[in-house]
Every structure is written in C-alpha cells, then in structure tokens.
Structure 1
C-alpha cells in the first residue's frame, strides 16, 4: 500500500497539503482518535479538492486509522488494516511525503509529544515477545480468534498423523502419568509400547463385547487390569467401550473432534484453585463494597457449576473421588459486616468448595487489617503468594490440577503459584484497566493513584505466561472491525521513561478461548415462573421502591403507576450510573414516561473509603439537587442479596419495566444476563460484552453511553411502542429469555472449561507448549521490572 500512497502524494500535492492542514485545526490535543480522524476526512472529502481522493488509497488509509499524533510539520498515523494487524506511517505536512515506519519509531514520537525524550546515550527498554512465538502455530483468520483449542486440536491431529510413530508414543506416555494421590489411573506397567497398547485395546474390546449391558468397571476390573488398564476409562460398559474405540481410532488416524472428545474424558482434574485477592470476597453483604461486584458473583457461580460438572464427570469415569475447589482470596480483619475475616468459609451450594483467606502482611510480617484498593495492592502479592502456597498444599493435601487467576492481581498470583507448583495456569481478565482509561499508558505518571505502570506490567507477565486464557466475548480479545479489543490494546504501547511494548501479546495465539458464563438459573428465572417466585418478598420490595424515606435511600416516587427504569451496579466512573441519571434528568419525555430506580453504592460520602466512589456519590447528589429528581428517582444505597435481587428483577418485569446497563465499557455484563434471564427487557452499552450478548432490536437494545440524547430516545421509543402495542414488551422479554437459555448457562461453561484444561494439559505434555524460553524471559521481566514498580506503589 505504501507504494500507492507515495504515488498519490506525488500526484496530488496540493490536495494532500490541504488535508494535512486539517489535522492542526484540532489544537486541544496532540492526539486524534478514530472518530476525530473519520470526521476530519468525511468533511474534507466533501470539498472540491477532497473529491480527488475519493476511492483512493488515501481514503482506504483513513478508513483504517485508529489514531494520529501530530507536531507540526510531522503527523504520525497508526492504521489497523484488519483485526490485529497494524501499520504505522509518518507524514511531512510541508514536503508532502509519506513513509512507513516501525512501531518503535511511532511510540517514540508519542513519547516526545508528552514531554519525554530519551537521552541519546540512554536505552529505553523494549518488550518484544515476537521471537518467542515464531515457531509456535498461530491462527490465520480473524473469525477464528477465541477458538484456540479447536485450532490446536486440528494442528495436533495433523501432527500426530504425520509423525504417527512418535505421536502414538507420546499418547501412550501421557496415559501412563495419570494418578490421584497414590492410585494409578488409565494404564499400568503391563503395557510397554504402542503395539502393546493396541493389542490390549483389541483384547479389551473383545472381552467387553461379551459382557452384559449393565456391566460396570468394578465387575471387570481384575480382567481389565490384567490387560494393563487401570480405573478411569469409564463406569459403564458403554462408556469404557466408547473410550477404547476413540483411542483405537486416534492411534490409527487421529481427527480433531475425536481427539478433543477423548481428552475431555480423561481423569485429570480433581482439584482446582481459583485466585481472586482484591476487594471483599464473601457470600453475604459484600456486593457494592469497593472493588467488589460482578467478579465475586461470577466466581461463586463458576465454582458451583465446576464442582457439579466435576462430580458428574468423575463418576462417569468410574472413580469414587470427591473433587475439591479452593477460592483463594485475601483475609481482611477489619471487614465490617462481612465474613472476610474468617480464614476459611464453606461455599453454599457445594459439598467441598471452600474460600481460603490469607492475609496481606507488611515488611515486618504483621497482618494488614484494612481494605486496600485494587490499584494499590501490588507490593503485597508476592508475599501473599508464598504464604498461600503453603496454605493450599495444607488444605488440598497435594498440588492442585488447575489454577485459575482472576483480574490483574489474581492472574499475577496464579502465575507465581503455577510457576512454582508446575500446574496448568488459566487466566480470566474480567476487565483490563488499560482499555478503560484513554491513554493510560502514555500518561501513567500523571495518574499515580492508579499505578497503571505496575498493573500493566503484571498483565503482560500473566497473559503471556498463561497456558490458556478465558474470555467471555470475542470483543474482549479482538474488538470489532472499528475498535480494538482489550487484549489487542496490549499488543503495542508505551509508558514513557519506563519501557515500550513492541509486541506484548498476539491475539492470534491459540491460547485464547471464548467461554461465556451464565446466570444462576436457581435465582434468575423468568417472571412468569410463578411456582418458584419469592412472592413473600413483594411487600418488602414494594417498600424499597415506593416506600417512605428509609436509611440508605434518597427520593420518593410521586407517580407509582409509571413503569420503572432499573439499573444496578457499583458506583464508579466506568459503570456510568451518574451518566444514566443525567440522561434521565435532561429528558423531559423520559421523565414523563417512567420512574428511575437506582441500586448503587451508598448515599453517604463518608461511608466510602474509595476516592472514585466518593466522587460519584457527590455527583449523584448534585444531579438530584440540580434537576429536582427526588420525586422521580429512587436511589437505594443498599447491597441486595442475590435471591432478593432476582425477585426484584421479576417484580419490575411484572410492571413492564426495563433494565439499563449504561457502562462506558463492560467486559461481559453479568447483570445483563441476569436481567434477561428474568425476562426484563434490556438496554445495555454497545461497548464490550453486551454488543455480543444482545441481538439489537430483538433481544434487547444497544445504547451509546456517550450519547445521552440517543439513549433517551431509544428508551422513550420502546415505552411508547409498548404502550401502543401491549404485546411488544412481551416479544422483547421472551426473546431475552430465549437468548440466555440457548447461549449463556453455567453448565455449558463448566463443561467447556474442564475440556480446555485437559486439552492444554495434554499439549503441555506432548509439545513445547510449556514455552520454557518464554517463561524464563517473563521471570526476568517480573523480577527486574515488576518488583521494582510494586515496591514504589503509592
């Protein structure tokens, strides 16, 4: 493309000079975003001179631009030609010349624009993961991103087929290593080589075919063990035969589907550790506290689903083993009305899943008593991981089989634990802060309260060290054609005076897998399921919404006949609750049609120790006062237990209300799933997970949280249409319920996650998926960069 651009710049100097001058009309910032650039070019192309560039390579370039940096006479451009593929250009606005440059030069120019210029005799560290990934198979098509395990299975099947002798031997060796405590599983020493395995399989099949249909493993165990087989092949005759046949087919001619199905049935996962240090992790009275929200709900539901699925799978494998799951979090002695000061806590709804809490300690080894913001916990994590390791081995009685990290801090701890214990590591970001805050890397020094430099370093270490990464949506990895994904934002960026990231992560890496969570169907079920409704709560819910003033509330609804617009979230900047309140306040039409119910945070500034939440509380009160909202908005600063929250959704659905999720960005959106599952029509942000969850106009509506007028218009239009056509509300409601039932359930999630852990465990064994070179590089980066940054945390 650069050749074509150079020709155009030579032939249309006058036109391109005028175009370049348009960049300098934006004097407020040295940086232009995609929306600015598109607006700039759209206006220019309407001019007589601009018409000359229509359908040209210049127009193609502008369509792909994500960002521009300018300092007259230079203009630097970042173009995203397709998802995950970037090119960088430099324009001279006086000479009218264009050159393609590398990412390092582009980042260096941005650094100069914010006042940093590296001395000529100094070297700024550059992080580049490219050399470590050259020999590793990569996805080629953008549509395949997030389906890494499918790609690996195809690749492995092909490799096993081509290298049949060596591949079969690796499968044999892999089947030999499985045991639980002192019990050998799958194969014993009777089978010495691949021909011996194939002969034993044929002998086993012949024997089993002559057994009764109701035969189980215990009935044939002595004979099977004499052939070389140990427990783990299945409980019933049908399951054992199916496993034997699958393995015979794989040894003869492997195919991806058969391989994944076979690996998914191998007894490998008996104990799991889930890591989530920050916030208040508990089962009661924690939601809405600082740094405590959807992630807690996600993990508790995840653990229940995983235990249920593990039990079913272990039983089917013919084993009598009780699985165990430990949620590792921080112990907080001064934790208010929560259980976060208890060292251990059984998870309700499980038989052997426990919350294990380990304290943070200072340099003298003394326990730190109070909550610490997620932005400030970095100095404590390494010491926390070492104490946690001892506690986990004591609790489980052995090394866990899988460690799942959550958010930046949990992912870093999972890296430290899995490195020492040599255990498969899975990471789940939930939300990467870098994608939430514009230019957060570039201006890291100007935002010391967030400690972005430390968090982004932790993210780079953990995401590259992970054996596999779970995301809830495609967008989380790769964004859309128009916008980059959360993980993609780590592919290249700079933190001036600290280091440049030349290649931080490759979103075409097969470690990425989309596994969407669901809503707890015991709690979030349709409003018309009268048999399971908690109608005993209705008087209390009515009082919460329509009652007189009570502690922790503001606003008394004057007109109780209006339908409700409901929102519920943490009270922070990104969740944008104050943005929704302002949208409602400024729309007379919306205020005439509906009341607004807000369940978020606290109404008292002095009840919060989080600076961001305190500011949002102050903003809420200012909006109430400025727009006189007390008769139309009810604000509850309460933390509702999930059963009560589930019935509240349904109670509002009874009154033909709606749910609005107005976040500036939402990685997934559990509240969106929960509301939809109950049948409450949904309006949710178009930035992040809800864009994929909702089919716009059918199972809900996308809203732009940055455009209050458009948001109000969409909600108003819905209420007007529902008033004129009573069936319309039900059509959308039914579609919401169906969408969740077909795509977002915890049983599907648990089954998929366990399969992934087995497949990647197999890959680590039979290939170089351990990525030893990468691991050593990351250990050095962690030791030399992260530790220093963590020690300087403010």
Structure 2
C-alpha cells in the first residue's frame, strides 16, 4: 500500500486527489464511508471527463477503491485503507498536501473521539495482541475460519518432527479419559506412549482373527489383558479400524487420519447449550421476535447433538456400560410466563431421549422486573448471579461436570465464559449476530444510545467472551472478516473506540485457529421440497393455501385481485434492518413486477399497537404508508401472525407449487435461517448481498444476490429471472432443484453436529498439550469483567430497582 500511496502523492495524479478531497470537504460532512467515497469519486471522474480506465485502473482510482473511511479535520485528512481482507491501515494527509504518511490505530481512535467532541487525553487502551503474539496463526486470509484443518496439519507436522514427545502427549490425553470414574480406552497396564505404540500390534493381530461383526462384549476381557479399556468400538471391525487409525497416526501422521481418529474418541458426553435470554420453549413458544431464530437454532442443535452423541457412544461400544448422552439447554425461568411452560424448571426436549431445557430464575432484585420477560438489551445485571446459580443446577443434573459449554448470543457467551472459568470446561461461542456492526456508529455514539441499548456493556461482554472462548463457530466466512468491500462482524471488534470509556487497539486475532465455519442445518422433517408430495398433508396444504391467498382475518391485510400471478414471498420480523418495507417499496416502484407478480409478506405483527418498541411501530406504519403511496391494494397480502413451524414449511411449498420466488431483502443478514428453509423447499431465492447469506447461494454469476439499497437493480434481477423462466420452460425447475440440493447436502444438522463435536475434542486436546498463554489471557478478561462490565451493569440494575 505504501508504494500505491507514494505513486499517487508523488505522481501526476496528485492533482486529482487534491480536487477529490476538496470536493468531499466542500460537502460539509466530516466522516465519509466507502459507498459515499466511491460515489463522489465516480461523480468527479464524470465531471472531469476522465477516461473510462481512470475510475478503476489509475493509481488514485485503486487507492479510492481500497479506502473505507475518510475523516476530515482542520489540519489533516485521515484515510482508513483496507488493502486486503483482515488488514487495515491508517494514513494521514496534511491539509497543505505536504505529507501523506501512515500512522497508528491509536491516532485514528483519537480522531474519532475528537469527531464527536469526546476526546480525552488519557484513556484505557485494550490490547489483546500480546496474548496472541506467541500463539499459532493462520497465515493466509483465505483460510480464516478453517482452524480445525490448520490445527490438524500443525499437529501432524509436530508428530513428524518430534514424534517421541507428541506420542507421549497423545498417550497422556487418551489415558486421562474417563466417564464417572470408569476408565476409557487405556488402563494402567500401558504406562507410556512408547508402550502404547508397541501394544497396538498384538491387539490388531488378535482382532484380525475375529469375525468382523463379533460384538465387543465377547472379547472385552481379552483386550483389557492387553491394556485396552472400553471405547474403541462396538464390534471387532470397529475396534480394529480405530486402532489402525491410531497406529497410522503414530507412524505416518496425516491430517485426514488425525481427524478420523479424533472423531472416534469418546470424549464428549454432556453438553450445555446456553441461551439465557428466555422464552425458550417448544412449538408455539419459540422465543420472542428478537430471539426467535436463536431459539429454533438451539432446539434443533440440541436434538441433533443428542442424536449424534448417542450414535457415537453406540459405535464406541459404551452403551453397554449404561453410558448415554445428556444435553441441557440452559435458559432463564420466567414466573409470569403468559400460559407457556417457561416457568417449568425442567422440560424434556421433544423427539429426544435425554435432552432437557433447564430453567434457572434470575435473582429477584425487583420482582416486577425479574419475574417477567426482559429485553435482551436489559438482561445484563442478572447474568453473573445466574451463572453462579446455574453452576449448582448443572452439577446436580449431570451428577458431574459437563464436557462442553456452548454459548449463544452475547449474553449466553458471557455466561459460558463465567461457567467455563469456574468449572474448567471447554467453551464454544456462537454469536448468531453481533450488535455492533448492525448499528452504524453504535460504538462512537454509545453514550447517546446507552439508555436504550446499553452497548457499553454488550460490546465489553463480546470482547471478553470471544477472546476467552477456546473456539468460535460461525455460519459464514463473512461473519469473521467480511468481503473485500465490507468489514466482517468479528473484524469490527479489531479496532474501535468507546469515547471516554476505552479504546480497543487490538480486540481479536482474526487469524486465530479458534475461528471455525460450522453452518447450521435445517429441520428436514418440517422443511422439505414441494415435490415430495408423499410427505405433504393435503389438509394442511389446503389450509395454508387459503391463509396465503384468500382467508379474511383481523391479522391479515389486503387481498389479491389476481391470485394466479406468480408470488414473491418474504418471511421476517418487522425491523428496519430486516427491511420488509424496502421490499414493498421495490415492488411498488416497479410496474413490471406488479404486472407479473403478487407480493405476500409473512411477519408476526400487523398493527403498530402490537409493537414492543418505537422503531418497530414506525416500521409497521411505514409499510402501510408504502402500500398506500404506491396503490398496492389488490397486489399485496400482509399476514401478521405467528404460525407453527409445520405451517411455515407448507407455506414455502405452497408458494413453490405455483412457481413463486422468495426474497430476503435485509440491509444486513449474518446468515439467514429463512433462506435455508425457502431454498430447501424448492423456492428460487434472492438474498441480500450484505452478510453471510452471500455464501449460501454461492453465486451463479451474482444472479440471486441483491442490493437492498438499489431498488431498480433488484427489480431488474427478478424480472430477468422471470424472463428466463418464460423463455425456457424448465428453468424455474432447474434453479429450484439446484437450490434445494445445495441446502440438503451442505447445510444439514448431521454435518453440523459432527463437526462441532470434532472441534470440541480437538480443542480440548490442544489445550491439554499446548495451553499457551490462556491463563494470562483469561485473567485479563476477568479484569475487564470486574473493572468495566460490572460497574456499568450496576447502573442498569439501579434503574431496574427503581422501576
């Protein structure tokens, strides 16, 4: 980047840069973001009659393409340049154009503070870089999120370069495995790694003489004589296969062999999924709007994990010892539960044998607050005591410690951190959606937003939990580091300011192997292709068709003059980020779309009076205003009611029956559960280009990714698709089949659970053999918790006590 900057500054294009800066500063704006900068540069090129190549290929053009922010001060202009993914540089251009030099992140944070008139000379700097400095790091940004593969390669290399040490460490890890005092895998008859390597040979010779399907219990005592305890397999062939993998791993280590062996090691039996926020129940009580997707995710993950663990325990031959998996969803108990089971201490998860919802109440403080549902933005004062109470409950339920803690969302991840520190258990984080990048400038103006959102607490909690976690799973690569054009969710925590509170100089190492892509699945018993007629309920189909197209109801607005037109379908809660209003406006502005399609929206609410906050009420009213402004009566149906998952699955299929399409038009989407549901149902799906949903489509030449800020281009993409459908009778079916198969093969819960358990085992092993600087790092996180987080939550608690 230095060469490019110097080429601009010292070359013929310096005048162009000077003119552009003058134009931008004349606008009166002191802070410009990438889209504004690119648009201003395009206007400049046009007005200056620059040749076509100048916008992209000139030195100044390349510099502007890399520039994500420009900040104006009286004496200088600051450039935030992102030359590549996960890399940011700060450059300072003096007002007299005499100097253009790279500077420090600290200088940028000071500039941002001055911008909002909240600069202070001495401020706490949070810098996590020293804790990652000696850690393993992925060296290629393209491999970010592939931490497991990286660790596998590294460990195999270590086995090759220092086999004696690493075989001994492998032996110690295996030798320590047990379940409630029952020794697994190895007994004291095998005292060392060298002896283990030797002992495998006679065991394999013995097993090769048995019938492959010989049950383990028939030869258990023979293996124990050789020093091998239960856990290697349930048949002679399975035990032999597992020992052969270990033998190959010792003598010719390869990543694939290591992964296959670790997958078979019985090391995880008890798992806690932490989703604190509440309203975690089952069908018909799947969360409130702000956490609906998370609750569905956690329930399906619990079912899948329990099933996967059961299968692994069976294949390891441990079910014969009475060992069975135990999965607990930890959430809060809500006394005033509005007729649901959210006040039930313990509830079995449907379609499982031993997965449970464990509800622990918040400490009372003010019962008028704590006995009721609490918004996710107000939950923070109760989490520390909740973690302490939950620890006792979990130990009682499990009759021992869990093997894995999985946090969900910022609050669940903080509780996972607190429990992990106390119980010394592997911690996994799942953000689902980080609030900071969703709310533009939320850190810069945190003081103005504090009463409503308490972002100072939430962003601090995020920093603590993401750094303390042994591993983090994300649904997409973009969730970590974004794209060349946009910053990732975790990347936004790398360097930021909370004016007059602290500066984050280096908040997270994006190249850490702790980041791993493990996308969720979709419940294929509920969401399956429309073409599977044999699995569909004809009565349900009729009911849902009536709901979507004809039924009159106080919770349904609008009728369709021509119900046979192709349907544009959208399902989401009504928020400004989810942008159902933008989709309605896109439809309203395009006469061509209206002539060919109807628009059907399915949300949970229809009237402003149902809104839980002013933003939601405003968005609902805005949707009515758009319908009236563009005269959409007769062309739109808006269904504002919560329907069961089985009904939603059929709704997608009913729209697919008539060759409709699905549009997800959010301004930002971290992943998008409804996208998976629509695609697997066979609906050709258009998704926002901002966020992880970009990866779900894995684009067919950008045909199905849309820009929610460009209504005209979105309408054109949909119309182009419809034209292709008209020109080629099979085109809709080809796209439908491709999308359905993509979800079926790549986004399924079996793959998710298998990979998650593999990560848990591998990172537990890694922390055992190479604990690095984790204790120092975790002590630093505890300091942030006690010195920043707790004093700030006390302020929220004082308000609640007074309320």
Same fold per superposition (TM over 0.5)? yes
CA separation in 1, counterparts of 2:644 and 2:477?
31
**Contact persistence 1:554–1:630 (CA under 8 A):** no
Q: Determine helix, strand or coil for the equivalent of 2:26.
A: coil
For 1:177, the equivalent position in structure 2 comes to: 176
Q: 1:450 aligns with which of 435, 450, 453?
A: 453
Instruction: Report whether the alignment pairs 1:229 with 2:228.
Output: yes
CA separation in 2, counterparts of 1:444 and 1:699?
36
Shift of 1:275: 0.6
CA separation in 1, counterparts of 2:763 and 2:150?
12
Shift of 1:57: 4.7
Moved more, 107-116 or 200-209: 200-209
For 1:407, the equivalent position in structure 2 comes to: 409
Shift of 1:709: 1.7
For 1:782, the equivalent position in structure 2 comes to: 785
CA separation in 2, counterparts of 1:286 and 1:603?
19
**TM-score normalized by the length of structure 1:** 0.96
Q: Determine helix, strand or coil for the equivalent of 1:357.
A: strand
For 2:763, the equivalent position in structure 1 comes to: 760
**Contact persistence 1:288–1:600 (CA under 8 A):** no
For 2:306, the equivalent position in structure 1 comes to: 307
Q: What count of residue pairs does the alignment treat as equivalent?
A: 790
**Contact persistence 1:402–1:423 (CA under 8 A):** yes
Q: 1:322 aligns with which of 316, 321, 324?
A: 324
For 1:390, the equivalent position in structure 2 comes to: 392
Q: Show the 5 A alignment for 1:67-466.
A: 67-118=69-120, 120=121, 123-287=122-286, 289-320=288-319, 321-363=323-365, 368-448=370-450, 449-466=452-469
Instruction: Report whether the alignment pairs 1:26 with 2:31.
Output: no
Shift of 1:389: 1.2
Q: Show the 5 A alignment for 1:690-705.
A: 690-697=693-700, 701-705=704-708
Shift of 1:63: 2.2
CA separation in 1, counterparts of 2:412 and 2:391?
14
Q: Determine helix, strand or coil for the equivalent of 1:598.
A: strand
For 1:38, the equivalent position in structure 2 comes to: 38
**Contact persistence 2:438–2:668 (CA under 8 A):** yes
**Contact persistence 1:347–1:354 (CA under 8 A):** yes
**Contact persistence 2:417–2:469 (CA under 8 A):** yes
Shift of 1:335: 2.9
Moved more, 208-217 or 696-705: 696-705
What is the CA deviation profile of residues 459-507 of structure 1, one whole-angstrom value per residue up to 9, with x for unaligned ones?
1111101101101111111111111111111111111111111110111
Q: Determine helix, strand or coil for the equivalent of 2:228.
A: coil
**Contact persistence 2:56–2:65 (CA under 8 A):** no
**Contact persistence 2:278–2:333 (CA under 8 A):** no
Shift of 1:670: 1.2
Structure 2: state its 5+ residue gaps. none
What is the CA deviation profile of residues 317-359 of structure 1, one whole-angstrom value per residue up to 9, with x for unaligned ones?
1111210111111222223353222222211111111111122
What is the CA deviation profile of residues 573-597 of structure 1, one whole-angstrom value per residue up to 9, with x for unaligned ones?
2111122122222322222221111
Q: Show the 5 A alignment for 1:489-568.
A: 489-568=492-571
CA separation in 2, counterparts of 1:116 and 1:195?
63
**Contact persistence 2:167–2:194 (CA under 8 A):** no
Shift of 1:136: 0.6
What is the CA deviation profile of residues 674-718 of structure 1, one whole-angstrom value per residue up to 9, with x for unaligned ones?
111110111111111221111434897111111122222222333
CA separation in 1, counterparts of 2:380 and 2:525?
37
What is the CA deviation profile of residues 722-743 of structure 1, one whole-angstrom value per residue up to 9, with x for unaligned ones?
2443322112111111211221
**Contact persistence 1:381–1:413 (CA under 8 A):** yes
Change in 2 beyond 3 A, CA 1:560/1:20: closer
Q: What RMSD, in angstroms, separates the aligned Cα atoms of the two structures?
A: 2.1
Change in 2 beyond 3 A, CA 1:697/1:16: closer
**Contact persistence 2:686–2:706 (CA under 8 A):** yes
Change in 2 beyond 3 A, CA 1:367/1:205: farther
Q: Determine helix, strand or coil for the equivalent of 2:666.
A: coil
CA separation in 2, counterparts of 1:52 and 1:549?
58
For 1:656, the equivalent position in structure 2 comes to: 659
**Contact persistence 1:279–1:291 (CA under 8 A):** no
Shift of 1:180: 0.7
Q: Determine helix, strand or coil for the equivalent of 1:325.
A: strand
